[in-house]
Structure 1
């Protein structure tokens, strides 16, 4: 089974971005415990100096609908619930991308999808 994982990372090394402030999501595919970088998707952050923009939040969510997991440094209750309702698991961490992907492959797959 293969599936996509979206990662909110500012540097391509660590999971370190808040969902609402992520300007990009790095998309990996996990298949047979191997990780393949697929693409980087540009995103318009939904949280800014003027507060939260609901339409931008839904645009961010729609950007990730083909993913099974979203790895983020932090996420608010609203977007977390919407992603869950769409069958997408979120996991807050500050691990390296590699360690976070290993965690997903070992602990999340099979429990949620």
Structure 2
């Protein structure tokens, strides 16, 4: 269901060579683009998350999730993506619990787009 993950530490990302040059590590702030769906349907993904909370900040110890539409604010180039963008900040919760929470979100989203 994911078209691609956006994180500068990934080798396939534009600018990865600059990331490797300038940084020795990365953080748990990243986003992913879904292959299909709309921003109205993405509510089904983020609603009823057990651990992820809606939030705009870089987070702290808690994990955050935020559907966002870069097309509304992007001015230098046009944002073109197959589906909605979801931004995550990974906190200190157990990784398996976070994976389960995301899996449940994907199930809700899949039902919404069916």
TM-score (normalised: structure 2): 0.29
Question: Higher Cα Rg: structure 1 or 2?
Answer: 2
Q: Which has the higher strand share?
A: 1
